[in-house]
Structure 1
Amino acid sequence: MILTYFRRVERRIANIKIISDKKIDFKEIDSDEGLIRGTIVFINGYILEFMEYIEHGKRLKYRFHLMDKERKMIFRFDNAPHYRNLTFPHHKHTPDGVVESKEMGIIEVLKEIETLILMV
């Protein structure tokens, strides 16, 4: 089951034309549990550092940190257990503060980054 998700992520990344470099590790813990972590560099110099831990189809822990080429934060999605007044535990850090967010996975974050880069 986790390998199916890993393959889906690999296919999605392979189809993104605005990626210039990547280093991604997929770790299968057991058939229903795994960890993805890595760094993706985009053609405009943006860098995504991320980690996603999944068990039995649930995303237990994640962080997706997008920076510009000077390593200044553009956004960060995570589910660290703070900001109880927002969409706990899911939230998005921006240069202007922290805002509500739905649960995010690498595929959803990559879609958001594509839109962001292609709009510029």
Structure 2
Amino acid sequence: MIKAFIDNIDKTISFSPIVLSSNIQKHFSPDGKTLYLRGSLLFLDSSVLEIAIFVIETHYALTIGKYRFHYMNPIGQMLFRYDNAPHHPEVTSHPHHKHISDNVILAREPY
């Protein structure tokens, strides 16, 4: 299942007409059941998406562990960030949330 997950990401990136370049690193646990994927995508408009995500393979499903998706404009200013660090318990979707400028709003868990 993790292999199919990675293949899907690789295909999506390689066939995207707006991704100029990518630097994605994949690190596996010794048993191959946990993936730590991190890296960045550079888009045609020079914006950048930084990605960090843990994926755990259970018996019949993949579970998303800790994650962060950080999107920046061409001069490195954050446009938004999704993550599940448990530092905003006031958000109803805790621990999942989205940062936009100085605001934190609810967000769905990625799937």
Task: Give the whole-Å Cα distance in 1 for the aligned partners of 2:74 and 2:37.
Answer: 23
Aligned partner of 1:92 among 94, 98, 101: 98
- Does 2:11 correspond to 1:11? yes
| Contact preservation (8 Å) 1:3, 1:28 | no
Using the aligned pairs only, state the percent identity: 31
Question: Hey, what does 1:62 align to over in structure 2?
Answer: 67
1:16-68: CA deviation from partner (whole Å, max 9, x where unpaired): 11011110112222332111100110000101111010112111110000000
Give the partner amino acid of 1:71. Answer: G
TM-score, structure 2 length as denominator? 0.88
1:68-94: CA deviation from partner (whole Å, max 9, x where unpaired): 011000000000012112111100000
Between structure 1 and structure 2, the one with the greater Rg is: 2
Task: Give the whole-Å Cα distance in 2 for the aligned partners of 1:88 and 1:96.
Answer: 17
Question: Hey, what does 2:47 align to over in structure 1?
Answer: 46
Runs of 4+ aligned residues of structure 1 deviating over 6 Å after TM superposition are none
Gaps of 5+ in 1: 106-120
Q: What secondary structure does 2:17 align onto?
A: coil
- Provide the alpha-carbon RMSD of the alignment: 1.2
| Contact preservation (8 Å) 1:91, 1:102 | yes
TM-score, structure 1 length as denominator? 0.82
Aligned partner of 2:84 among 67, 79, 104: 79
Task: Give the whole-Å Cα distance in 2 for the aligned partners of 1:67 and 1:88.
Answer: 23
Give the partner amino acid of 1:89. Answer: P
Task: Give the whole-Å Cα distance in 2 for the aligned partners of 1:58 and 1:88.
Answer: 17
Answer 1 or 2: which has greater helix percent.
Answer: 1
| Aligned residue pairs, count | 105
Gaps of 5+ in 2: none
